[in-house]
Amino acid sequence: MPLIEPDEARYSDIPSLMNRTGDYVTPHLNHLVYLEKPPLGYWATAVFFRIFGENEFSARLFAALCAWGCIFLVYRMGTFSHGEKTGLYSAGVLSTFLYFSVLGKINILDMPLAFFVSLATWAGYRYLVENCRRKGGLYLLYVSSALAFLTKGLIGIVFPFAIVILWLIISGGWRSVPKLFSPVGIIVFLLISCPWLILVQKANRDFLWFFFVREHLLRFTTTSHGRSQTILFYVPVVLLGTLPWSAFLWKAWKEGASQEPPIFEGKEKRFYLTWIFFILIFFSVSSSKLVPYIAPVFLPIAIMFGHIFRVYEERNIRFEIGRGKRFLYHLPIILQSLLFITALILPSLIKYLKPSKDWGSMHFENEWPLIVLPILFQMMMIFLPPFIKWRWQRGWFPAIVILAALFLISAHFPVAKLLTPYKSAYPVSKAIQTFLPPNQELFQFRISLYGIDFYNKIRTPMIDPSGELEWGFNQLRREERRRYYLSHEEFIQCCKAEGGVYCVTRNRNVKELKIMVPTLEILWNNEEFYLLRLRG
pTM equals 0.92
Residue 192 lies in a domain: yes
Number of domains the chain is built from: 3
- Do 384 and 441 sit in the same domain of this protein? no
β-partners of residue 531 are: 504, 524
Classify each residue of 28-55 as buried b or exposed e, where b means 16 or more C-beta atoms within 10 Å of its C-beta. bbbbbbbbbbbbbbbbbbbbbbeeeebe
- Do 360 and 495 sit in the same domain of this protein? no
Residue 49 lies in a domain: no
β-partners of residue 504 are: 444, 531
- Do 394 and 449 sit in the same domain of this protein? no
CB atoms within 10 A of CB 148: 31
Ranges assigned E (strand) in 196-278: none
Residue 150 lies in a domain: yes
- Do 470 and 355 sit in the same domain of this protein? no
Residue 125 lies in a domain: yes
Per the structure, the complete domain to which residue 348 belongs is given by 319-422
486 sits in the region (left: phi over 0; alpha: psi -120 to 50; else beta) called beta
- Do 521 and 447 sit in the same domain of this protein? yes
Q: How far is CA 243 from CA 12, 98, 155, in A?
A: 30, 6, 27
Torsion of CA 244, 250, 252, 256, to 10 degrees: 180
Residue 220 lies in a domain: no
- Do 391 and 325 sit in the same domain of this protein? yes
Provide the 3-class DSSP secondary structure of residue 165.
helix
β-partners of residue 524 are: 531
The pLDDT value recorded for residue 328 is 86
- Do 394 and 446 sit in the same domain of this protein? no
Q: CA 366, CA 210: separation in Å to the nearest integer?
A: 49
- Do 146 and 161 sit in the same domain of this protein? yes
3-state SS track over 388-444:
HHHHHCCCHHHHHHHHHHHHHHHHHHHHHHHHHHHHECHHHHHHHHHHCCCCCCEEE
| Final residue before a domain boundary, out of 308, 337, 371 | 308
- Do 430 and 414 sit in the same domain of this protein? no
Residue 260 lies in a domain: yes
Torsion of CA 405, 407, 413, 419, to 10 degrees: -100
Evaluated on CA atoms 35, 37, 43, 46, the torsion sign reads negative
Q: CA 421, CA 361: separation in Å to the nearest integer?
A: 10
End-to-end CA distance of the chain: give it in Å, rounded: 38
The pLDDT value recorded for residue 365 is 52
- Do 378 and 513 sit in the same domain of this protein? no
Q: CA 53, CA 202: separation in Å to the nearest integer?
A: 31
Report the candidate in 180, 197, 184, 328 with the shortest Cα–Cα distance to residue 254: 328
Q: CA 332, CA 207: separation in Å to the nearest integer?
A: 50
pLDDT tens, residue order, the chain (536 aa)? 999 999 999 999 999 999 999 999 999 998 899 998 999 999 999 999 999 999 999 999 999 999 999 999 999 999 998 999 999 999 999 999 999 999 999 999 999 999 999 999 999 999 999 888 889 999 999 999 999 999 999 999 999 999 999 999 999 888 889 999 999 999 999 999 999 999 999 998 888 888 888 776 766 665 555 555 788 899 999 999 999 999 999 888 887 666 666 677 888 999 999 999 999 999 998 877 899 999 999 999 999 999 999 988 887 655 545 566 778 888 999 999 999 999 988 876 766 565 554 444 434 456 678 899 999 999 999 999 989 988 888 899 999 999 999 999 999 999 998 889 989 999 999 999 999 998 888 999 989 899 999 999 999 998 876 677 777 777 778 888 778 888 878 888 888 777 778 999 999 899 888 888 878 899 999 989 999 998 86
Residue 491 near residue 517 (C-beta atoms within 8 A): no
The pLDDT value recorded for residue 259 is 65
The pLDDT value recorded for residue 362 is 38
* Residue 398, preceding peptide bond in cis (omega within 30° of 0): no
Q: CA 441, CA 420: separation in Å to the nearest integer?
A: 25
Residue 32 lies in a domain: no
- Do 418 and 432 sit in the same domain of this protein? no
Distant-in-sequence, close-in-space partners of 198: CB < 8 Å, separation ≥ 6? none
Residue 41 near residue 109 (C-beta atoms within 8 A): yes
Residue 278 lies in a domain: yes
| Final residue before a domain boundary, out of 376, 403, 422 | 422
The pLDDT value recorded for residue 355 is 55
| Final residue before a domain boundary, out of 373, 396, 422 | 422
- Do 474 and 453 sit in the same domain of this protein? yes
